[in-house]
Structure 1
Amino acid sequence: MAVKKTVKTAKTAKKAEKPAKKTVKSAKKPVKDIKTVKAAAKKTAVKKSAKKNLDWSNLPFSYIKTDKRFVANFRNGEWDKGRLTTDDKVVITECAGVLQYSQSCFEGLKAYTTEDGRIVAFRPDLNAERMERSCRRLEMPVFPKEKFIEAVLSVIKANKSYVPPYGSGATLYVRPYMFGSNAVIGVKPADEYQFRILVTPVGPYFKGGAKPITVRISDMDRAAPHGTGDIKAGLNYAMSLHNIVDAHKNGFSENMYLDPATHTYIEETGGANILFVTKDGRIVTPKSDSILPSITRRSLIYVAESILHIPVE
């Protein structure tokens, strides 16, 4: 199972030095010139891989405008080739389908810098597949999987100076999203759509990073039975805003939702799936048609069962 997609980064200083060494050796340059060539090679390599001057270890989970984003448009029954652009503005009609009937969906994944300096993205192929399910459910055109992956990697590469350094605790958040863009009056799907990908460096989602948080059992529902809880529709998250604001006001980090049909089984939180570890070492995770199929949960279950041989229910 492919877990990571790799984005090519700038050559290392060591590789950049090789041609310089060969030239110096054949010309039998003085020692002073050798040092100058090595310094120039090192300077070039650092320039290519230089990171933005940000306080990486203290980044909030919020938007920071980056250099490039990807944009593709669906018109006359087909997608155009798409392009990278520096323009972060979205211009649509006041009667756009997304504004009138909330026809939109999105995805979220992250890119990281590894210990050896590579930049990797976590399983974008699965995000493409999940977005395809969302699009089909919302009567939106599917953006092809291979083009989705290619676009994700191209945006990361175009903004590699914003990928936080290894060990900082920060990541580059990647947000693909799609919405109905043409004028729609009367409840029906749009005819034109825009698919975009933005990236932004972020710190941990919860303040304090990977530490225990306080949650509450919510008496409200995140999704309706047989509804759209299993897709990543924008409106699903708008419906949960009041409840998460209320939770924060009362000292809780998140809401834990029960199944909407009977309110007797734990399902998920507003922003994440749930996995339980029993006293005897088993992993138990809720199963429901109204839960968003988490890529992180799927990966953890695979590692637990196939690599660590931990029982999963």
Structure 2
Amino acid sequence: MIRKGLSMQNLNQSLRIGSSASKLSNSSFTSQAAASSLLQVCEPSAYRKREVKVGQFLTRYGGEDEYADVDWDKLGFGLMPTDCMYVTTSTNDGSFSVGQVLPFGNIQLSPSAGVLNYGQGLFEGTKAIRRENGRTVLFRPAQNAIRMQMGAERLCMLSPSVDQFVDAVKQTALSNKRWIPPPGKGSLYIRPLLIGSGPILGLAPAPEYTFIVYASPVGNYFKEGRAPLNLFVDDEYHRATRGGAGGVKTISNYAPVLKAITRAKSRGFSDVLYLDSVNKKNLEEVSSCNIFIVKGNVLSTPAINGTILPGVTRKCIIEIAQHHGYKVEERQIPVEELLDADEIFCTGTAVGVASVGSITYKNKRVEYKTDSKSVCREMYSTLIGIQTGSVEDEMGWIIEID
């Protein structure tokens, strides 16, 4: 149901509540029980059985901890269809029906569906990670649920409750468990998707909404892998404008940046860093991730102002940096500060924490520190450590689901 009274301030405050995700682990939805019955609905696709060493234990495909037939060492960031997806639709009373886990596949939509005609669509991204002890964990999915509710309010959509969102993510992860990469080989990227599926001709909110959660095993987001990125500052194209929807994760934010990305990649750059659309002089974000600049003991990142997505990873890095004794500033950052920065790095669910080796602005290329003693490496190691279990989760960010 559309949540009233939510604001960007509410979201920022909610992202500071480190333990909220953990509290949801005892949700009234019981994903383990649901997972035991969903196998009658969603059968695994064909695969070869073989043996593989995972950490210190040996797993045989076809058993309880089976693995799909994937070359995990060559895993990139592309769609690899898995076994199942979660689907539910809104009801007349404004809530969502109990979801089903179904075989992954195409969906049917009316040509006049709200998402196709007027762009009523939101998506999120979170990950399931397999640890060395064989346990599977999720990382702060409740924050993604809250952000989807924020986006739904902005686009006049109905949205699932936080509990139902988190439970759907759990069910999707459990039903696709054999697609979760071995420890250190990647993660299962989970994509919750909310669309206006009901037919509408005149410009108005759709009469029905569908919530889908699907997944794909992934490795590094950028083709460079863990190598430093080379960014291009684009002062012609803009990712978002004031008063628009740049601060929510709507599907309509992404097609407009494809032109800028395509042009930059044709010139050998990894991605594009955008400036504000009013003055064309202040940093905003990269196409699919937030950005940080480092100068001495200070980390700075553009303030959330309605045009910048409040990234969950962004917020985690702010909290980790403060915990490590760094000063963190969320503020307006003139593009000229890139010229004097010690380090630059990007953050996001898909990209993780990615170091930036160089940035080119108005034909001037600036290079940055990327060695093993960098702040970026420190932030990355801590974040990954919390996710994989090698660093204690003092924030309460992790949910074990099996």
TM-score (norm 1): 0.84
- Tell whether 2:328 aligns with 1:312: yes
Q: 1:4 to 1:204 in 2, by over 3 A?
A: farther
What residue number does 1:129 align with?
Answer: 146
Quote the Cα distance in structure 2 between the aligned partners of 1:288 and 1:76: 35
Structure 1 gap segments, 5+ residues each: 9-41
- Which amino acid in 1 is paired with 2:74? N
Match among 179, 184, 188 for residue 204 of structure 2: 188
After TM superposition, give the deviation of residue 100 of structure 1 in Å: 0.9
Structure 2 gap segments, 5+ residues each: 1-17, 26-30, 33-57, 330-402
CA RMSD of aligned residues (A): 1.9
- Tell whether 2:193 aligns with 1:177: yes
- Which amino acid in 2 is paired with 1:218? D
Quote the Cα distance in structure 2 between the aligned partners of 1:175 and 1:145: 15
After TM superposition, give the deviation of residue 256 of structure 1 in Å: 0.4
Quote the Cα distance in structure 2 between the aligned partners of 1:245 and 1:193: 32
Quote the Cα distance in structure 1 between the aligned partners of 2:69 and 2:20: 30
The answer as to whether partners of 1:4 and 1:121 remain within 8 angstroms in 2 is no
Q: 1:46 to 1:104 in 2, by over 3 A?
A: closer
Q: 1:297 to 1:43 in 2, by over 3 A?
A: closer
The answer as to whether partners of 2:179 and 2:217 remain within 8 angstroms in 1 is yes
The answer as to whether partners of 1:4 and 1:120 remain within 8 angstroms in 2 is no
- Bigger CA radius of gyration: 1
CA-to-aligned-CA distance 1:47-81 (integer Å, 9 cap, x gap): 11121121112112111111111000013233111
The answer as to whether partners of 2:61 and 2:68 remain within 8 angstroms in 1 is no
What residue number does 2:66 align with?
Answer: 50
What residue number does 2:6 align with?
Answer: none
- Which amino acid in 1 is paired with 2:239? R
1:113-124 mapped onto 2 (5 Å cutoff): 113-124=130-141
The answer as to whether partners of 2:85 and 2:215 remain within 8 angstroms in 1 is yes
- Which amino acid in 1 is paired with 2:202? G
Runs of 4+ with >4 A deviation: 3-8, 42-46
Quote the Cα distance in structure 1 between the aligned partners of 2:239 and 2:274: 7
- Which amino acid in 2 is paired with 1:196? I
1:1-313 mapped onto 2 (5 Å cutoff): 1-2=18-19, 47-77=63-93, 78-168=95-185, 170-219=186-235, 220-278=237-295, 280-289=296-305, 290-305=307-322, 307-313=323-329
- Which amino acid in 2 is paired with 1:95? S
SS in 2 for 1:190: coil
SS in 2 for 1:136: helix
More helix by share: 1
Quote the Cα distance in structure 1 between the aligned partners of 2:177 and 2:104: 18
